[in-house]
Amino acid sequence: MGSRPKEQTFTERYRLSGADPLIESELEVLGSDYQANGYTTMSQADDLGLHLRLRAGDRLLDIGSGCGWPGLYLAKEYGCDVVVIDPIIDGVRVAGARAVHDEMDRRESGVQGLGSDLPFVERSFDAVVHADVVC
């Protein structure tokens, strides 16, 4: 995947996303500390989990996951497995590090790719989320 201006912007954002002031802002505004790049609040993520009826043993796909919000959170809260996919590898790496931090790295997989060209066979997942995806 070539580096386009949008990709460069997100690559830079992912590299800065763990900075204390950004995490503090995210906690205040969204209620999360997952280095989110979007606007999905903790309450909205909880609503997603309830609506999707996620449970242990389910496989969740988070398209355009960036640093893993809200897919990692949902996997942690509901016990499901999660695959995060994003075109920017830096976001996928941050998500993987968060999964290790949350001791759920055995239930998380990261893939660099596009939502428009998913590298999975049909019916690989029980649920899909795509919050705040930029096209």
Span 95-100, average pLDDT: 95
111 bridge partner residues: 85
Higher pLDDT, 16 or 52: 52
SS (H, E, C) 64-126: CCCCCCCHHHHHHHHCCEEEEEECCHHHHHHHHHHHHHCCCHHHEEEEECCHHHCCCCCCCCC
State the first-to-last Cα distance of the chain, in angstroms, to the nearest integer.
Answer: 15
85: its two tokens: 């996919």
Read off the pLDDT band of 25 (50, 70, 90): confident
> H or E stretch including 33?
none
pLDDT of 97 higher than 70 = yes
Q: Which pLDDT value is given to residue 19?
A: 66
Q: Which pLDDT value is given to residue 46?
A: 95
Higher pLDDT, 12 or 118: 118
Q: Which pLDDT value is given to residue 87?
A: 92
Q: What domains are defined for the chain? A: 5-129 (3.40.50.150)
Residues 38, 63 contacting (CB under 8 angstroms)? no
Predicted TM-score (pTM) of the model is 0.83
Distance CA 76, CA 96 (A): 13
Tally the C-alpha atoms within 13 A of residue 30's C-alpha that lie toward its C-beta. 23
pLDDT of 108 higher than 80 = yes
Span 47-73, average pLDDT: 95
Q: Which pLDDT value is given to residue 52?
A: 97
Q: Which pLDDT value is given to residue 112?
A: 96
